[in-house]
Chain A
Amino acid sequence: MEHYNMNLNLKVWRQKNKNDKGSLVDYKVSGISSEMSFLEMIDVLNEKLVADGKDEPIAFDHDCREGICGMCSMYINGRPHGPWAGTTTCQLHMRAFKDGDTIVIEPWRAKAFPVIKDLVVDRTAFDRIIQAGGYISVNTGNAVDANAIPIPKDDADKAFAAAACIGCGACVAACKNASAMLFVSAKVSQLALLPQGKPEAQKRVLDMVAQMDKEGFGSCTNTGACEAECPKEISLENIARLNREFTSASIMSEE
């Protein structure tokens, strides 16, 4: 593949802290290689900002930089994680852009994800949703032999596909309602598809949805934006399964 260098105009959301109002600020970067990752491009800008000493470098979440930890979270030109399908911000490479492009970078925006600084948001709401029931209650040492319960490959594969969620929050960022249904449905589906998850399935789905609502996420209107933007391509089928699980649990529950 041909390499090329480019100059770019960036408009980056700057916000000192959660109480600051914040605004988009213009920056220029030059000599960006098409081989760089998007975050390496931000690194270049940050090094420049440190050297200039005028603005603080841009705060942004990132860690593994290989698309699996779910930490990176930039809303790039109107799309979470930018233009490539099935790709996190850290795996987005500058080949996606051309010389002279303007790139607008914003944080995830949702009531349930307040901004901490610049592009960094607080996603602990997701942890609290998992705390509400995103687990199988098995203490260490209680397990039977791993092959004692055969699980149809199809179910195991579907559970895995749902479990591939990295909890980055792109679904919330993409959704016009800031709904977390894709995230919640991924965990509910994973555990509902496996025999080990069955005993608690009813309570799990009721509690997780209640927590999701409490955290201030919106409701799902089935636009499909979450699925289209999910870096792990979690399927909308999971949301249908969540709806199914929730409705039947609501009907069957004795409370």
Chain B
Amino acid sequence: MTLNSKIPAGPIEKKWEDYKGHVKLVNPANKRKLEIIIVGTGLAGASAAASLGELGYKVKTFCFQDSPRRAHSIAAQGGINAAKNYQNDGDSVYRLFYDTIKGGDYRAREGNVHRLAEVSTNIIDQCVAQGVPFAREYGGLLSNRSFGGTQVQRTFYAAGQTGQQLLLGAYSALERQIALGNVTQYSRHEMLDVVTIDGKARGIIAKNLVTGELERHFGHAVLLCTGGYGNVFYLSTNAMGSNVTAAWKAHKKGAFFGNPCFTQIHPTCIPVSGDHQSKLTLMSESLRNDGRIWVPKKQGDTRKPNEIPEEERDYYLERRYPAFGNLVPRDVASRAAKERCDAGFGVGASKMAVYLDYADAIQRYGKIEVGKQGLDNVSKEKIIELGKAVVKEKYGNLLDMYSKITGENPYEVPMRIYPAVHYTMGGLWVDYELMTSVPGLYALGEANFSDHGANRLGASALMQGLADGYFVIPYTIGNYLADEIAVKPIPTDSPEFLAAEKATADRINTLMNIKGTKSVESFHKRLGKIMWDKCGMARNAEGLKEAITEIQALKKEFWSDVKIPGDINSFNPELDKAGRVADFIELGELMCKDALDRNESCGGHFREESQTEEGEALRDDEHYKYVAAWEFKGESDWQLNKEELIYENIKIAARSYK
């Protein structure tokens, strides 16, 4: 099957404008008759629901949490990029576009990314108008900071809680539409299937998680804003409930899955402390603005960090990448940390960690404060005290979190960090209009594959989620719905709805009736271990083949030996988790298949077979300059469709941060 990405013709900076100028419109009277289902209420879902509600569509939103405000976008810490150039440091739409394409290691679509860069500025305006309290300077204007992979300051932030503030902004806009009656919210509801009629998405089957009842909901279009699938690794920075189920059901109903193996491993997370670990916690990339990363120069050094003199420390990022130093992109920083630990230079009890040190920053800021306050004859201790106060002001909440989790004081002792699964660039394949390969079925935000190529730059996930929801889908959905105005709401007792509901109910019954011996959690852990060991930061053909066999065996075991307590018709989190883990197992197999197929290294996907002499990722543009869009054919059976990537504006080159 040939994939049509529907990128508009014309010069890159005109594509979106031209598209908007010619796209079909739906008049206000017809909008009232059109129903839209939105699954997920994170940045993408909430912003889409609010915007579409404002336009006059009849919207239903679903989330599995107890409130739309809990979606995991809330946990994003560092910031959101926008090409505002408020700092007068040479930023522009083109530069954000370029940085994103390069950061993604030339595996993203030019058209989509340029549009993202264009609307980035509107997002900041919109959020400020909603009352999002971004950080400001004393003059009352917005403040910016730097993030990895860029050389300008274009990141807007609200302390270490930017995601929270942006989500609460979108949530408040959504709640306003609920109050106005334009949106109906279904909390503690999980989507368990997409209903397709005559090849078009026409609704969903959702489970009321409190009562266990299945519900049928009709929509002229269905939007999946359900986030990423990092939890396939069991341990990740995702929320406990983050899952692939909605996207996976869509995939099985015909939506192609794009680049499933593209996973972002975030370099600065708090290391695993034991087998009990249930999730990993990210320490914002913003910490790399001021923190320095190092390991001892001596292998297996057991001294305490503060006892290791300066000349025996290896600031390996500054050594290897002098131009970007500690602010290299995430994939590069993560691999460098893994390389040091694998070579025996790791620190901490597990030896699987590196130091993130604030001692220099404390000194530097302390001296600046001395100058600012005009102090004389200042003692060393006073400088440190002043410096700590500045660091606390800038990063206090992050450092507090570190100290709660580890019991260590990061103002005194360097933090221990290690990479962890954080984000998935892969996702449902969508065209320029964010429509999947199923007509009427859309994917927004992290749930789609579209904008970040093989590696996402920091502070760009928030940008993409909000761009899709506020500024892209309100236009592109009209192009589809304009032809649907004659379609009357389809009764949810039509055969297609009933069949989908029955299939869902049957699957739940099957799960409950296995009555095996092993907990859902134990399967999830085992899947995670296979994925992390063989499809994690470094991958090779042999390991991936083994992983596929192991996952298939695990799947078999799951479906014959899983033990799910409780009843179907009650609040049963174990049952809900079982459904999600079953889907993760299937996804895991596809990820390994995709990783095996892509015999090159790019971005977060590092194939050991494909690296330079210095151990940098080696792309193979001749053979792999495409989006892998996998089509589900049957159990463990997928067909690969390729969307060639065309670079007309950016000259592709080896990605260098040296």
Q: Is any CB of A less than 8 Å from a CB of B in the complex?
A: yes
What is A's interface to B at a CB cutoff of 8 Å? 1, 16-17, 33, 35-37, 39-40, 43-44, 47, 49-51, 53, 56-57, 59, 61-71, 84, 86-87, 91, 93, 95, 116-117, 120, 122-124, 126-127, 130-132, 134-147, 149-153, 156-157, 159-160, 163-164, 166-167, 190-191, 194, 196-197
- B489 close to chain A: CB less than 8 A: no
**With A93-B407, A146-B125 in contact, is A136–B131 under 8 Å at CB?**
yes
A-B pairs, top 4 by smallest CB distance, nearest first, are: A150-B140, A135-B172, A143-B129, A1-B407
Residue contacts A-B, CB under 8 angstroms, 26 given: A1-B408, A39-B278, A43-B521, A47-B519, A47-B521, A50-B574, A56-B566, A59-B571, A64-B70, A65-B239, A68-B161, A68-B164, A69-B74, A69-B75, A86-B400, A116-B571, A127-B69, A127-B185, A136-B130, A136-B131, A146-B128, A150-B140, A160-B165, A190-B133, A191-B131, A196-B128
Q: Which of A87, A132, A141, A164 sits near B161, CB closer than 8 Å?
A: A164
A146 touches B173 (CB 8 A): no
Q: How far is the CB of B10 from the nearest CB of chain A, in Å? A: 23
Q: How far is the CB of B112 from the nearest CB of chain A, in Å? A: 20
Cβ of B273: which chain A residues have Cβ within 8 Å of it?
33, 35
* Assembled-state Cα–Cα distance A191/B636 (Å): 52
A160 touches B159 (CB 8 A): yes
Q: How far is the CB of B128 from the nearest CB of chain A, in Å? A: 4
Cβ of A47: which chain B residues have Cβ within 8 Å of it?
519, 521-522
Among A49, A50, A87, A117, chain B packs the most CB atoms within 10 A around the CB of A50
- B494 close to chain A: CB less than 8 A: no
The total of Cβ contacts below 8 Å across the A-B interface reads 230
**With A51-B519, A68-B164, A164-B164 in contact, is A131–B69 under 8 Å at CB?**
no
- Chain B interface residue count, CB cutoff 8 Å, equals 86
Told that A40-B277, A43-B521, A123-B67 touch, could you supply 14 new A-B pairs with CB distance under 8 A? A17-B571, A57-B574, A63-B70, A63-B72, A64-B70, A64-B75, A66-B281, A69-B75, A91-B401, A116-B571, A120-B571, A143-B126, A144-B125, A196-B130
Cβ of A167: which chain B residues have Cβ within 8 Å of it?
67, 69
A131 touches B239 (CB 8 A): no
B274 touches A33 (CB 8 A): yes
Interface code B155-183, partner A: CB below 8 Å = 1, 0 otherwise?
00011010111001001110110110000
* Assembled-state Cα–Cα distance A39/B240 (Å): 11
Cβ of A43: which chain B residues have Cβ within 8 Å of it?
276, 278, 521
Cβ of A84: which chain B residues have Cβ within 8 Å of it?
404
- B348 close to chain A: CB less than 8 A: no
Q: How far is the CB of B604 from the nearest CB of chain A, in Å? A: 22
**With A65-B239, A135-B175 in contact, is A57–B565 under 8 Å at CB?**
yes
B571 touches A163 (CB 8 A): no
* Assembled-state Cα–Cα distance A33/B274 (Å): 9
- B210 close to chain A: CB less than 8 A: yes
Among B54, B65, B165, B404, chain A packs the most CB atoms within 10 A around the CB of B404
When C-beta atoms are compared, the residue in chain B nearest to A36 turns out to be: B276
- B376 close to chain A: CB less than 8 A: no
- B135 close to chain A: CB less than 8 A: yes
When C-beta atoms are compared, the residue in chain A nearest to B517 turns out to be: A51
* Assembled-state Cα–Cα distance A61/B172 (Å): 22
- B360 close to chain A: CB less than 8 A: no
Q: Which of B130, B277, B570 sits near A138, CB closer than 8 Å?
A: B130
A141 touches B122 (CB 8 A): yes
Cβ of A17: which chain B residues have Cβ within 8 Å of it?
570-571
- B8 close to chain A: CB less than 8 A: no
Cβ of B132: which chain A residues have Cβ within 8 Å of it?
163
A196 touches B140 (CB 8 A): no
Cβ of B278: which chain A residues have Cβ within 8 Å of it?
37, 39-40, 43, 65
- B470 close to chain A: CB less than 8 A: yes
Q: How far is the CB of A18 from the nearest CB of chain B, in Å? A: 9
B565 touches A163 (CB 8 A): no
Cβ of A142: which chain B residues have Cβ within 8 Å of it?
129
B126 touches A140 (CB 8 A): yes
- B322 close to chain A: CB less than 8 A: no
When C-beta atoms are compared, the residue in chain B nearest to A126 turns out to be: B67
Q: How far is the CB of B652 from the nearest CB of chain A, in Å? A: 33
Q: Which of A59, A136, A159 sits near B172, CB closer than 8 Å?
A: A136
Q: How far is the CB of A126 from the nearest CB of chain B, in Å? A: 7
- B141 close to chain A: CB less than 8 A: yes
Query: B32-70: which have CB < 8 Å to A?
Result: 47, 50-51, 54, 65-70
Q: Which of A44, A130, A137, A147 sits near B142, CB closer than 8 Å?
A: A147
**With A66-B401, A135-B175, A137-B176 in contact, is A147–B129 under 8 Å at CB?**
no
A139 touches B54 (CB 8 A): yes
B131 touches A71 (CB 8 A): no
* Assembled-state Cα–Cα distance A84/B400 (Å): 12
B131 touches A190 (CB 8 A): yes
